[in-house]
Amino acid sequence: MIKVGIVGGTGYTGVELLRLLVMHPEVSLNVITSRSEVKRPVSELFPSLRGLLDLEFSEPDLSVLTLCDLVFFATPNGTAMKMASELHNTGVRIIDLAADFRLKDVHEWEQWYGQKHEAPELLMDAVYGLPEINREIIRNSQIIANPGCYPTATTLGFLPLIEKGWLDCQRLIVDAKSGVSGAGRGAAVSSLMSEVSENFHAYAVSGHRHLPEIRQTLETVSGLPVGLTFVPHLVPMVRGIQATLYAELKNKDLDLKSIHQAFKDRYVDEPFVDILDLGDHPQTKSVKGSNICRIAIHKPQNRDTVVVLSVIDNLVKGAAGQAVQNMNLMFGFDESAGLDIAPLSP
């Protein structure tokens, strides 16, 4: 078994990570940190873990964390980079569920996140943790930048088409909707039930922090500049993302069956990507609580626009589940260990 620490275990991503790890056959949870909840039993803050976890929250202490084989950071942006260098130097492996190591260009990172990066020397060592692209590199990496939720749903939806060279990469559109848990557990008026319920709206239309992450990944795959319009929306539900992706085909005569087969062939060996039958429409509820991404492909009116529908649970495949999937790869475990769970219904 490996010894695991979690820095920042009090948010939605943190408790989701705990839910998955307490049932993992190869994991011993050694330490869970929180500056605001020191000495409080984890199961008191999260009664769902009662009887499953007998640990208290503690102050982040590098002398304790360096005794772990792996440390997860389920913290706000800008936290992991302050501790990563020392952990890296002692050989501890790191999975950051925030954005500190996702962008390779330090100046771009500082522009989008509005702060100075404190560990730029680690950016090139960090591996982008999307297993469907970087599986073999992840196995041997020490620092994993766990992808964002919107980028995961978007990249998996565009990937087969971009790899085939079938798209006009200057005209990609992402129309994405997320549940309110994507905003985190912190108290905010915009997240109150009376504000969210019976409401629906777009936000960050001028530029969302996930835009450069998506663009960087798609440009790495295509080898070409990518023109991307990304508009996120908040919907009145707790969990789930649907990304509706629009792209123009270079060859408008490419038939839908061929496109569909390309998706099936690309993901045939992927344990957590499910390609639906032609004509189907995925639902966020169909992946709730699971690490699955479900995808459907359409070609409306048989014209030159392809529409891809991609759904994930933002807290699982979009965060904690993908982090556990990366951990499994890093330590040579079965990739599905701890993640073979059916979606919740209803």
Active site residues: 149
Who's near 60: CB < 8 A, 6+ residues apart? 7, 33, 35, 83
Question: For the chain, how long is the longest CA-to-CA vector?
Answer: 64
What does the alpha-carbon distance between residue 191 and residue 172 come to, in Å, rounded to a whole number?
Answer: 30
What does the alpha-carbon distance between residue 62 and residue 44 come to, in Å, rounded to a whole number?
Answer: 25
Judge whether 245 and 305 are in contact, CB under 8 Å.
no
DSSP string, 108-171: HHHHHH-S--S-GGGTTT-EE--HHHHHHHHHT-SEEEPPPHHHHHHHHHHHHHHHHT-B-TTS
Look-up: residue for tokens 């073979």? 340
**What three-state secondary structure class fits 72?**
strand
CA dist list (Å): 46 to 37, 40, 313: 12, 11, 20
Look-up: residue for tokens 């798209």? 167
Structure tokens at 102: 């996702």
What does the alpha-carbon distance between residue 46 and residue 44 come to, in Å, rounded to a whole number?
Answer: 5
DSSP state, 276?
Answer: P
CB count, 10 Å around CB of 63? 7
Classify strands 228-234 and 201-202 as parallel, antiparallel or unpaired.
Answer: antiparallel
